[in-house]
Amino acid sequence: MSRSMSAMGRRQPGEALSAAPGPLMRRRHLLLAGAATAMTAGTAWAELADLRERGSLKVALYRNHLPFSEGGAQGVSGADAALAKALAERLRLGVQWLPFEAGENMGDDLRNMVWRGHYLGYGPADLMMQVPIDRHLIGETRQVEFLMPYYRHRLVWLTRGVPSRADLRSMSLDGVTLAAETGTAAAAALLGYGGGRFRNAVRLSSTGLDAARGVVDGKWPAAYVTQAQAEFVLKDVAGASDYLVEPASLPGTPQNGWVVGLAIKSGQPELAQALGQAMKALQEDGTVARIWREHGLTLLAP
């Protein structure tokens, strides 16, 4: 949520298109295209064969992104980690984890972990989890293939007792302390709502989980966080049913939430097909839904 996405690079209106090639040029283009196709297929097969020979799938996931992923000295955990392991097992592969810290934007993350690798020598991975399936990002990142959406994030209010659902829906929140994660669209929406109407009441936390935990700990009555963050915090709370999780799209936030999926380096059709088939099988046999339940989450369809 905190990672920004820049606008897609498009051909500008009025930009000239190339003239249609003559017969000789068309023939040369066909020959070159055929050679390129053969090279791409050979490369893709070699890369997939390399995975088989290596025996493992290198998976990039965010280091501090619970409930989806967390990586440290004790290994990795989270719903994305469990899903990646299930995908690798479908491909009859083990897993090599590449946990990483989020960069300044999603373009940095994709460059460092998918198609080029970090300049310090870390990465790239064979597969990256939790990648926004966004048309602008897809359009400006031709080095990456975006695959198999598997979850839809959405923003919610987390409260207990007061304010009520009616108060939240009507934004009758004057005098109420409101928490959100710093640097996110949720925080910006609260700070800017109604020309800054609630600005003095907003409390910014370092993470959405901290904002949600503040409600449970009684620090503030309401937090504007993702549904996954709210559900994860409530997972082991006694009396969790007393809390209200109310979906809400404020001005400046995505009206329908945002979808995430997988990403691999472009030019690997066999790996793309294998991962697509594996994800489809895991969705159809209920594995993805089970993983989400085990982490206290509701699987929101992409």
The model's pTM is 0.82
For residues 199 and 223, is the Cβ–Cβ distance under 8 A?
A: no
- Verify that 49 and 87 share a domain, yes or no: yes
For residues 81 and 97, is the Cβ–Cβ distance under 8 A?
A: yes
- Verify that 210 and 89 share a domain, yes or no: no
Residue position matching structure tokens 């994800």: 279
How confident is the model at residue 103, as a pLDDT? 87
User: What does the alpha-carbon distance between residue 145 and residue 74 come to, in Å, rounded to a whole number?
Assistant: 31
For residues 246 and 168, is the Cβ–Cβ distance under 8 A?
A: yes
Does residue 16 lie in a domain region?
Answer: no
Q: DSSP string of 248-290?
A: ---TTS-TT-EEEEEEEESS-HHHHHHHHHHHHHHHHTTHHHH
- Verify that 58 and 204 share a domain, yes or no: no
Per-residue pLDDT of the chain (302 residues; tens, 9 = 90+): 434 333 322 222 232 223 333 433 333 333 333 333 333 334 444 577 888 899 999 999 999 999 999 987 678 999 999 999 999 999 999 999 999 999 889 999 999 999 998 888 888 999 999 999 999 999 999 999 999 999 999 999 999 988 999 999 999 999 999 999 999 999 999 999 999 999 999 999 999 999 999 999 999 999 999 999 999 999 999 999 999 999 999 999 999 999 999 999 999 999 999 999 999 999 999 999 999 999 999 999 99
Does residue 12 lie in a domain region?
Answer: no
Query: Burial code of 290-300, b = ≥16 C-beta within 10 A, e = fewer?
Result: ebbeebbbebe
- Verify that 116 and 225 share a domain, yes or no: no
Does residue 41 lie in a domain region?
Answer: yes
- Verify that 37 and 148 share a domain, yes or no: yes
Does residue 302 lie in a domain region?
Answer: no
SS3 (DSSP) at 56: strand
Domain tally for the chain?
2
Does residue 18 lie in a domain region?
Answer: no
Other beta carbons within 10 Å of 162:
10
How confident is the model at residue 73, as a pLDDT? 64
How confident is the model at residue 161, as a pLDDT? 83
- Verify that 131 and 229 share a domain, yes or no: no
The alpha carbon torsion through 158, 160, 166, 171 (nearest 10 deg) reads -50
- Verify that 217 and 174 share a domain, yes or no: yes
Does residue 194 lie in a domain region?
Answer: yes
- Verify that 167 and 118 share a domain, yes or no: no
User: What does the alpha-carbon distance between residue 54 and residue 245 come to, in Å, rounded to a whole number?
Assistant: 45
Which residue range is the domain that position 216 belongs to? Answer: 155-247
How confident is the model at residue 72, as a pLDDT? 73
Does residue 2 lie in a domain region?
Answer: no
Q: 252: alpha, beta or left, given left = phi > 0 and alpha = psi -120 to 50?
A: left
For residue 12, what are its two tokens?
Answer: 């500008």
Does residue 6 lie in a domain region?
Answer: no
- Verify that 58 and 91 share a domain, yes or no: yes
**Given strand 64-65, what is the order of strands in its sheet?**
64-65, 69-72, 75-77
For residue 109, what are its two tokens?
Answer: 């993350």
Share of the chain residues as helix, strand and coil, in percent rounded to the nearest 5: 40, 25, 35
- Verify that 147 and 34 share a domain, yes or no: yes
To 5 degrees, how large is the angle CA 90–CA 95–CA 135?
75
For residue 296, what are its two tokens?
Answer: 């206290």
How confident is the model at residue 49, as a pLDDT? 82
Alpha helices in 171-268 (DSSP H): 185-192, 208-216, 227-234
Alpha helices in 77-236 (DSSP H): 79-90, 106-110, 135-140, 165-170, 185-192, 208-216, 227-234
- Verify that 137 and 92 share a domain, yes or no: yes
The CATH number given to whatever domain includes residue 286 is 3.40.190.10
- Verify that 217 and 274 share a domain, yes or no: no
